[in-house]
A and B are shown apart, each in its own frame.
Chain A
Amino acid sequence: MFKQKILLQKILFTLVINVAYFTVYAQQNQTFTGSIIDSTNQIGIPNVSVKVKSNSKIATLSDANGNFKITAPQGSVLVFSSVNYKTLELQTSNELSLKVVLAPSSSQLDEVVVIGYGTRKKRDLTGAYSTVDSKDITKSTAMTPELALQGQAPGVTVISGGGDPSARPTVYIRGVSSFNYSDPLYVIDGIPIEEGGRGATTDPTNDPTRRTPINLFTIINPNDIASMTVLKDATATAVYGVRGANGVILITTKSGKKGKVRVDVDALYGSSKIPKTYSFLNTQQYVKFITDAYNAHPDPDPIGGNLAIGDAPEFGPVWDPSSSKYLGNSPTYDWQNAIQNHDAKIQNYNARVSGASDNTNYNFSFGYANNDGPFLGVNQERYSISSNVNSKIGKYIQTGLNLRLIQEKTIDANIGGITNDLNIFQAAPWQPIYDNTNPYGYAPLWSLNQPITPGTFDVSPLWQSTLGPSAAMGNYLGLLATNSAPTTHQTFLGSGYVQLEPVTGLKIRGTLSGQDLMLVTNSFISFDSWQYGQTPNNPYSGVKNPISGQRYNKVGIDNSSTISLNKSLNVDYVHRFGNYNNIDVTLDASQEEWEWKTNGVSTFITSDDPDLRYFNATGNETGYTELNGDYVLIGYLGRISYNYNSKYYIDVLARRDGSSRFAEGHQWGTFPAASGAWRISQEKFMHDLKFINDLKIRGGYGVLGNEQTTAGWKYLSVESVNPPSYNLGNPNVNNLGAAFEVAPNPDITWEKKRSMNIGFDALLFNQTVTLTFDYYHNVTKGIIQSVNLTPSSGVQLPSDINIADVLNRGIEIQAGYKHSFGKVNFSVTGNISTVHNEVLSLVNHTALRGNTYSLEEGYPIGYLWGYKVGGIFQNQKEIDDWNKTHHDNLSTQQAPGDYYFQDLYGQPTPGSTAHNLTKDSIVDANDQTYLGKTIPSYTYGFTLSANYLGFDVSAFFYGVGDVQKYNDMRAEGESLTTNGRNQFTSVLNAWTPDNHSTTMPRAVWNDPNNNNRFSNRFIENAGYLRLQNLQIGYTVPQKWLEKTKAIHSFRLYLSGVNLFTITNYSGVDPVNDAYPSTRQFLIGANASF
Chain B
Amino acid sequence: MKFTWRILLTVLITGVAVFYIACNKNNLNVPPPTPTEASYFSSEAAFRTAILGVYAVLNDYFSTSNSAGGSGSAELETFFLPGDDLTCQAEEPYEVFGNNLNSTQGKIQQIWASSYILINRANKVLDKIEKETGVYTTPNLKNWNKGEVLFLRGYAHFMLWNIFGTAPLDTTDFTSLEQLNPPNSSGTQLLDQAINDFSQAASLLPPSWDSVDIGRVTANGAYGMLGKALVFRATVNKSNDDYQAAIAAFNKISGASLVANFEDNFDVNHENNSESLFEYQAGPPIAGLGSTNAWLANDAVNIGVCSSFWQCFYNGPGTYMGGGLYTATHKFKNAFDAGDPRLPLTIDTSDNFILKYVLHGDVLEGAVNSLNNVRILRYADVLLLEAEALTQSGGDASQAIGLINEVRTRARNMIASGTEPANFDESETNKDTIIQWIMDERLRELGAEGGRWFDVRRWAMGGEITLDKSFFNSTWPSLTWDAHYLNFPIPSTEIDKNPNIKQNPGY
A interface, CB within 8 angstroms of B? 208, 300, 302, 313-314, 396, 417, 457, 459, 464, 468-470, 500, 502-503, 508, 510, 535-538, 541-544, 556, 567-569, 571, 589-591, 593, 600, 602, 621-623, 625, 627-632, 634, 636, 658-660, 664, 667, 712-713, 716-730, 732-741, 743-745, 788-796, 799, 801, 844, 846, 848-849, 888-892, 907-908, 910-913, 924-925, 979, 1006
The answer to whether the Cβ of B215 comes within 8 Å of any Cβ in the partner chain is yes
A300 touching B52, Cβ below 8 Å: no
> CA of A421 to CA of B367 in the docked complex: distance in angstroms?
30
Residues in A whose Cβ lies below 8 Å from that of B303: 722-725, 736
Q: A720-B34, A727-B284, A790-B498 are in contact. Are A634 and B22 (CB under 8 A)?
A: yes
> CA of A538 to CA of B316 in the docked complex: distance in angstroms?
13
B56 touching A724, Cβ below 8 Å: yes
14 contacts between A and B (CB under 8 A): A510-B13, A569-B22, A571-B14, A625-B300, A627-B33, A725-B56, A727-B283, A729-B215, A730-B214, A734-B285, A737-B55, A793-B174, A794-B119, A925-B102
Residues in B whose Cβ lies below 8 Å from that of A537: 293
B32 touching A538, Cβ below 8 Å: no
Question: Ordered nearest first, which 5 A-B pairs have the shortest CB separation?
Answer: A794-B120, A727-B283, A542-B290, A737-B53, A724-B56
> CA of A631 to CA of B498 in the docked complex: distance in angstroms?
34
Q: A628-B33, A726-B53, A737-B53 are in contact. List 16 more A-B contacts (CB 8 A).
A: A302-B475, A469-B318, A632-B30, A634-B27, A660-B27, A722-B302, A725-B306, A730-B211, A730-B214, A792-B170, A792-B182, A794-B116, A848-B497, A890-B99, A911-B499, A925-B496
Select from chain A the residue with minimum beta-carbon distance to B286: A734
B40 touching A719, Cβ below 8 Å: yes
Smallest beta-carbon distance B499→chain A, Å: 4
A732 touching B22, Cβ below 8 Å: no
A464 touching B318, Cβ below 8 Å: yes
> CA of A589 to CA of B14 in the docked complex: distance in angstroms?
11
A629 touching B33, Cβ below 8 Å: yes
Q: A536-B317, A725-B304 are in contact. Are A846 and B499 (CB under 8 A)?
A: yes
The answer to whether the Cβ of B245 comes within 8 Å of any Cβ in the partner chain is no
B286 touching A736, Cβ below 8 Å: yes
Residues in A whose Cβ lies below 8 Å from that of B493: 791
A724 touching B301, Cβ below 8 Å: no
Residues in B whose Cβ lies below 8 Å from that of A634: 21-22, 25, 27-28
Q: A313-B89, A892-B478 are in contact. Are A659 and B28 (CB under 8 A)?
A: yes
Q: Could you tell me which residues of chain B, from 100 to 135, have a CB within 8 Å of some CB in chain A?
A: 100, 102-104, 109, 112-113, 116-121, 123-124
> CA of A602 to CA of B341 in the docked complex: distance in angstroms?
49
A541 touching B34, Cβ below 8 Å: no
**Looking at chain B's contact residues, is the secondary structure mostly helix, strand, loop, or mixed?**
loop
Select from chain A the residue with minimum beta-carbon distance to B22: A589
B interface, CB within 8 angstroms of A? 6-7, 9-10, 13-14, 17-18, 20-22, 24-25, 27-30, 32-38, 40, 46, 49-59, 68-69, 89-91, 98-100, 102-104, 109, 112-113, 116-121, 123-124, 167-168, 170, 174-175, 177, 179-182, 211-216, 271-272, 281-293, 295-296, 298, 300-304, 306, 317-319, 322, 324, 366-367, 371, 475-478, 491-503, 507
Smallest beta-carbon distance B495→chain A, Å: 7
Q: Which of B10, B90, B322, B477 contacts A469 (CB 8 A)?
A: B322
Residues in A whose Cβ lies below 8 Å from that of B366: 538, 541-542
> CA of A713 to CA of B38 in the docked complex: distance in angstroms?
13
Select from chain A the residue with minimum beta-carbon distance to B272: A730
B298 touching A792, Cβ below 8 Å: no
Q: Which of B27, B117, B281, B507 contacts A794 (CB 8 A)?
A: B117
A892 touching B53, Cβ below 8 Å: no
Residues in A whose Cβ lies below 8 Å from that of B34: 718-721
Q: Which of B46, B295, B371 contacts A535 (CB 8 A)?
A: B295
A728 touching B49, Cβ below 8 Å: no
Smallest beta-carbon distance B362→chain A, Å: 9
B300 touching A630, Cβ below 8 Å: no
A846 touching B53, Cβ below 8 Å: no
A738 touching B211, Cβ below 8 Å: no
Residues in A whose Cβ lies below 8 Å from that of B99: 888-892
Q: Which of A718, A727, A891 contacts B215 (CB 8 A)?
A: A727
Residues in A whose Cβ lies below 8 Å from that of B306: 725-727, 734
Residue from the set A543, A556, A793, A907 with the largest chain B CB neighbour count within 10 Å: A793
Residues in B whose Cβ lies below 8 Å from that of A801: 177
> CA of A890 to CA of B56 in the docked complex: distance in angstroms?
34
B317 touching A464, Cβ below 8 Å: yes
**Looking at chain A's contact residues, is the secondary structure mostly helix, strand, loop, or mixed?**
loop
Residues in A whose Cβ lies below 8 Å from that of B215: 727-729, 732
Residues in B whose Cβ lies below 8 Å from that of A726: 52-53, 55-56, 58-59, 281, 306
A457 touching B367, Cβ below 8 Å: yes
Smallest beta-carbon distance A711→chain B, Å: 11
Select from chain B the residue with minimum beta-carbon distance to A747: B177
> CA of A300 to CA of B34 in the docked complex: distance in angstroms?
54
Q: Which of B17, B28, B58 contacts A658 (CB 8 A)?
A: B28
B113 touching A791, Cβ below 8 Å: yes
A632 touching B28, Cβ below 8 Å: yes
A924 touching B102, Cβ below 8 Å: yes
Residues in A whose Cβ lies below 8 Å from that of B14: 508, 569, 571
A500 touching B13, Cβ below 8 Å: yes
A716 touching B36, Cβ below 8 Å: yes
Q: Which of A722, A846, A910 contacts B502 (CB 8 A)?
A: A910
B21 touching A568, Cβ below 8 Å: yes
Residues in B whose Cβ lies below 8 Å from that of A535: 293, 295
> CA of A621 to CA of B288 in the docked complex: distance in angstroms?
8
Select from chain A the residue with minimum beta-carbon distance to B103: A925
Smallest beta-carbon distance A284→chain B, Å: 26
> CA of A924 to CA of B37 in the docked complex: distance in angstroms?
41
Smallest beta-carbon distance A744→chain B, Å: 8
Q: A625-B301, A793-B179, A794-B120 are in contact. Are A544 and B288 (CB under 8 A)?
A: yes
Q: Which of B52, B291, B476, B499 contacts A735 (CB 8 A)?
A: B52
> CA of A556 to CA of B496 in the docked complex: distance in angstroms?
41
A569 touching B496, Cβ below 8 Å: no
A728 touching B177, Cβ below 8 Å: no
> CA of A730 to CA of B282 in the docked complex: distance in angstroms?
12
A794 touching B121, Cβ below 8 Å: yes
> CA of A1006 to CA of B104 in the docked complex: distance in angstroms?
17
Smallest beta-carbon distance A334→chain B, Å: 27
Residues in A whose Cβ lies below 8 Å from that of B301: 623, 625, 722
Smallest beta-carbon distance B487→chain A, Å: 16
B68 touching A796, Cβ below 8 Å: yes
Residues in A whose Cβ lies below 8 Å from that of B476: 300
Select from chain B the residue with minimum beta-carbon distance to A587: B18
Residues in B whose Cβ lies below 8 Å from that of A721: 33-34
Select from chain A the residue with minimum beta-carbon distance to B87: A302
A792 touching B10, Cβ below 8 Å: no
> CA of A627 to CA of B300 in the docked complex: distance in angstroms?
12
Q: A590-B21, A726-B52 are in contact. Are A717 and B119 (CB under 8 A)?
A: no
Q: Which of A302, A735, A738 contacts B40 (CB 8 A)?
A: A738
Residue from the set A544, A556, A725 with the largest chain B CB neighbour count within 10 Å: A725
Select from chain B the residue with minimum beta-carbon distance to A535: B295
Q: Which of B10, B123, B290, B478 contacts A508 (CB 8 A)?
A: B10
Q: A634-B28, A737-B49, A848-B497 are in contact. Are A795 and B33 (CB under 8 A)?
A: no
Smallest beta-carbon distance B224→chain A, Å: 19
> CA of A743 to CA of B117 in the docked complex: distance in angstroms?
12
B499 touching A913, Cβ below 8 Å: yes
B283 touching A733, Cβ below 8 Å: yes
> CA of A396 to CA of B14 in the docked complex: distance in angstroms?
15
B98 touching A892, Cβ below 8 Å: yes
Residues in B whose Cβ lies below 8 Å from that of A720: 34
Select from chain B the residue with minimum beta-carbon distance to A630: B30
Residues in B whose Cβ lies below 8 Å from that of A744: 37
> CA of A205 to CA of B70 in the docked complex: distance in angstroms?
16
Select from chain B the residue with minimum beta-carbon distance to A571: B14
> CA of A790 to CA of B494 in the docked complex: distance in angstroms?
6
Residues in A whose Cβ lies below 8 Å from that of B285: 542, 734
